[in-house]
Amino acid sequence: MKSTFTVCALLLSFLVSSAMPSDTLVTPKQFDASFIPANAYVFYVIGDWGRRGKYHQIPVAEAMNKTALVAKPEFIISTGDNFYTFGVKSVKDKLWKKSFEDIYNGEAIKNTQWYPVLGNHDHYGNQNAEVNYSKVNPRWGMRDHYYSENKTANDSTKLTFVFTNTEPLAHSAANEQWSWIDSTLSQSKADWKFVVGHHPVYSSNPMHGNTPVLIKKLKPMLEKYTAQAYFAGHDHDMQHQRAEGATVDYFVSGAGSELRPAGRMSQTLFAESIAGFALVAISGNTMYFFFIDENGNVVYQYTRGK
C-alpha cells in the first residue's frame, strides 16, 4: 500500500508540502477527542524528564494527565535520560520518588505502564537498578537493557516496539545488540514497527545533532524491515525529521523538562524548543501523530499511512 502523508503544523510550526516546508502561524488548539478516531490505539512518548520536578517537568506531567482524560494511553514510552544528572544508585534511590512517582501521579496516568530506554545520563548511574526497578514497581516496564514488546489493538492491528540501548550503539560496536535489533525487526509480522532509542538518528538541534553510527547501521535496518518510525530524545526539543522520498519518520521527543534552542536542516518538518510530549494514535492503516505542549495544546500534527 502506498503511504499517504498529511502534515498540519500549529503554533510556531510549519505546513509541509511534498517538497519544501513553509512557515505558518496558526492559533493553537487544546487537544480533545475529536483529533483521533474513537477506536485508536494510543501511546505517549516523552524524554529527558527526570529532574525532580524542575524546569518544565511538572507542567508537562500535568498536561499528560489532562490529555489522558480524553485520550488515555495504553502506555508511556520514555526516550531516556530518566534521571539527571548521574542516573540512580539503586532501586531504593530517592530519585524514584522525587523524579518519577511523585510527578507522573495524575489520576488519569498514575497506573499507566511505562516502557523506558536508557539515556546517556542513566549510564552514569546504576543501569541495572533501572532494569531491576521493574520488579519493585511493575509500572516501570524496563525489563532489560534492550527489549521488545508486541501489542495488538482492539481492531486486531499488530504493533511491534523495539526498545534499544543506544549509548553503546553510538560509541562502540555492540555487535550482540545490533544482531538482536536485526533479528527482532526481521521476525516481526506486525502492521506497525516502531524503534525507540535515546540518541536520535537525525537531529537538527545544534547541541547534539545527528548520530553518524545510527545513520550508518540503524537507518538501513529500519528501511529494510519497513519500520515506520524511530523515536528518540537526547536533544531537548521537539522534532520531526523526514527526507523527501524517505519511508521512515524520525521523531525527537526530548522536551520533558529542560529545553535548549532548536535548529533546522533541509529535511526538518518541525523543530521547536517547546516543552511537551508526543501522542501517537494508531487506527488500522493510519498513524496520527501530535506534539502537545505543557498547556495541553497541539503544536504539531502529522498523519501518515502504513
**Is 60 exceeded by the pLDDT of residue 299?**
yes
Domain total of the chain: 1
Residues 6+ apart with CB under 8 A from 222: 185, 195, 201, 230, 248
d(CA 196, CA 303): 19
For 180-225, write each residue's pLDDT tens digit.
999 999 999 999 999 999 999 999 999 999 999 999 999 999 999 9
The whole domain housing 264 covers 5-305
Backbone angles phi, psi at 94, to 5 degrees: -65, -20
State in Å, rounded, how far the first CA of the chain is from the last one. 7
**Residue 285: which CATH number?**
3.60.21.10
pLDDT for the residue numbered 22: 31
Angle formed at CA 145 by CA 164 and CA 150, multiple of 5 degrees: 60
Q: Which three cell numbers stand for residue 39?
A: 477506536
How confident is the model over 137-158, as a mean pLDDT? 98
Confidence of residue 5 (pLDDT cuts 50, 70, 90): very low
Exposed, middle or buried by CB within 10 Å (0-12, 13-18, 19+), for 92?
Answer: exposed
Query: What pLDDT shows up at residue 28?
Result: 85
Which grid coordinates are listed for 23? 512557515
Look up cell 530517592; give the residue: 94
pLDDT in tens, 12-67: 333 333 333 333 334 689 999 999 999 999 999 999 999 999 999 999 999 999 99
Q: What is the C-alpha to C-alpha distance for residues 142 and 98, in angstroms, rounded to an integer?
A: 19
Cα–Cα distance between 1 and 6 in angstroms, integer?
16
- Mind listing the pLDDT tens digit for each residue in 253-280? 999 999 999 999 999 999 999 999 999 9
Is the confidence at residue 4, as pLDDT, over 90?
no
Q: What is the pLDDT of residue 173?
A: 82
